[in-house]
Amino acid sequence: MQHSLKIGTRGSPLALWQAHMVRDALLAAHSHLSPRSIEIVTVKTTGDKILDRPLAEIGGKGLFTKELEDGLYSGALDCAVHSTKDMPTHLPDGLAIDCFIKREDPRDALIAANGGCLMDLPQGAVVGSASLRRQAQLLALRPDLKVISFRGNVGTRLKKLAAGAADATLLAYAGMKRLGVAEKATDILSTDQMLPAPAQGAVCVECRADDPRIADLLAPLNDAPTAQAVTAERAFLAALEGNCRTPIAALATISGSRLTLVGKVLSLDGAACFEERREGTVLEAAAIGHAAGMTVRQKAGEDFLKAIALEQMG
């Protein structure tokens, strides 16, 4: 008898697109799977329900994953597809992520209502973004800009922009490409201007750690360079105990067996920035990320990191 496979996902258009991408990849990799045997199950998470407050305020990451993880534990789901950048650095016991799909472009894109680049925005222009990382790096480049909180999925944010709620917004270019709206980007920011969030552009599949059937099905979908880059970036994040409350950015690039990681932490206004670049072999990905994170920690000092947390609570 053919077992069915239940793929869990959030219900946003981007999340659904990503779940269908995983489904298609599974079908392509396993000729014995029939399309009817793979079901996509939509789960509403806390992060999807609360739309009127910044994520940092309601508790940050985990808000997009808990309900999906409950489904894995109960057996209602066999695997769950996530944007890796939305995942907490530590997984709950009994769950595993051993499958990272080949990464899409990790850069951030500017969408300006009147077109043009970030540096061309008029003095004092209003930019909508709820991401502290984007806000900080934006203000570092353009201290004159006014940043307002902007939440909701990619489509919602583009609609808010079109309705005049801001002069520009920033989105992950990966999500725009996946949803077919890449042409709305008016400036694709270089990673020197705007270092991405750890794991931006990388989709992963989470499953139960003790489920070899699912692990075997997912194995051919894993892209090793993506897994290595994301491992380094997330180790950097974990070393800084980062969550939505601290502007943290990291990007690893891979060339053959070499991995180069750049990671930084910023003050909310972008005026202070502590950065570290490390290189090594791909096999050292986790150690490189951890070492870079610990170095940035030292450079910034515990007082600086604490001050950011306090500033945001007040």
Ligand X SMILES: NCc1[nH]cc(CCC(=O)O)c1CC(=O)O
Nearer to ligand X, 173 or 274 (CB): 173
Residue 34 has phi, psi (to 5 degrees) of -100, 145
Is 83 a residue that touches ligand X (CB under 6 A)?
A: yes
Is 22 a residue that touches ligand X (CB under 6 A)?
A: no
Is 60 a residue that touches ligand X (CB under 6 A)?
A: no
Nearer to ligand X, 33 or 154 (CB): 154
Nearer to ligand X, 78 or 86 (CB): 86
Burial class (CB in 10 A: 0-12, 13-18, 19+), 161: buried
Binding track, positions 103-142, relative to ligand X; x by CB under 6 A: ----------------------------------------
Query: Which of residues 22, 101, 171, 285 is near ligand X by CB under 6 A?
Result: 171
Is 174 a residue that touches ligand X (CB under 6 A)?
A: yes
Catalytic residue among 86, 167, 187, 211: 86
Closest-CA residue to 107 (of 96, 118, 116):
118
Is 293 a residue that touches ligand X (CB under 6 A)?
A: no
Q: Between residue 191 and residue 210, which ones bind ligand X under the rule CB under 6 A? A: 200-201
Nearer to ligand X, 44 or 306 (CB): 44
Active-site residue flag, 86: yes
Is 186 a residue that touches ligand X (CB under 6 A)?
A: no
> How far apart, in whole angstroms, are the C-alpha atoms of residue 19 and residue 10?
9
Give the number of other CB atoms < 10 A from CB of residue 180. 10
Least separation in angstroms between CB 226 and ligand X: 11
Is 175 a residue that touches ligand X (CB under 6 A)?
A: yes
Contact 277, 260 (CB under 8 A): yes
Is 151 a residue that touches ligand X (CB under 6 A)?
A: no
Site size for ligand X (CB under 6 A): 10
Kindly indicate which of the ranges 79-87, 118-126, 160-168, 286-294 contains the residues binding ligand X, using the contact rule CB under 6 A: 79-87
Structure tokens at 52: 């009127």
Q: What contacts 98, CB < 8 A, 6 or more positions away?
A: 207, 215, 218, 219, 222
> How far apart, in whole angstroms, are the C-alpha atoms of residue 86 and residue 61?
6
> How far apart, in whole angstroms, are the C-alpha atoms of residue 21 and residue 101?
9
Nearer to ligand X, 55 or 259 (CB): 55
- Cα separation values, 272 from 139, 141, 210, 264, 276, Å: 11, 12, 44, 10, 14
- Cα separation values, 168 from 92, 157, 181, 247, 287, Å: 37, 10, 15, 20, 38
Q: Summarize as ranges the residues that interact with ligand X (CB under 6 A).
A: 83, 85-86, 154, 171-172, 174-175, 200-201
Catalytically active residues, by annotation: 86
